[in-house]
Amino acid sequence: MGAVYRATHVMMKRDVALKIIDPRKVTDKSLVDRFRREVLVSAKLQHEHIVQAYDVGVHAGVSFLVLEFVEGADLSVIVKRDGPMAPGEAAAICLQAASGLAYSHAQGVVHRDIKPQNILLSTKG
């Protein structure tokens, strides 16, 4: 769909994740519609195990979503780098992910793309 960059929110003076639609694909109506749906879903979810949405907008014809920046790495990177996790560590991660998913489901949202690349592990645990 696009890319996610680490950026600094000038007004808030903090690091954020900036998700944008690929500028070469902004004419793809289905992609733009999917991005808009993601924005609406992100805006209504507030949970400690779900990345928080801060802002949304369009600049130079490119739609963007400003998200909470999570210092750390995704689960796939960690497993590739470190190998299999201890059962207790894996269970703790699964419980946190399940907590976020249960909240999301209670809000009427189904994620549809659960995979290691979409599970972020912060350096704060």
Residues annotated as part of the active site: 113
Write the single-letter amino acid at 44.
K
Phi and psi based region of residue 83 (left: phi greater than 0; alpha: psi -120 to 50; beta: remaining)? left
Q: From residue 69, give the alpha-carbon distance in Å to each of 18, 102, 105, 106.
A: 9, 22, 23, 24
Q: Residue 41: in which H helix or E strand, if any?
A: helix 29-44
Q: Are 48 and 89 in contact (CB under 8 A)?
A: no
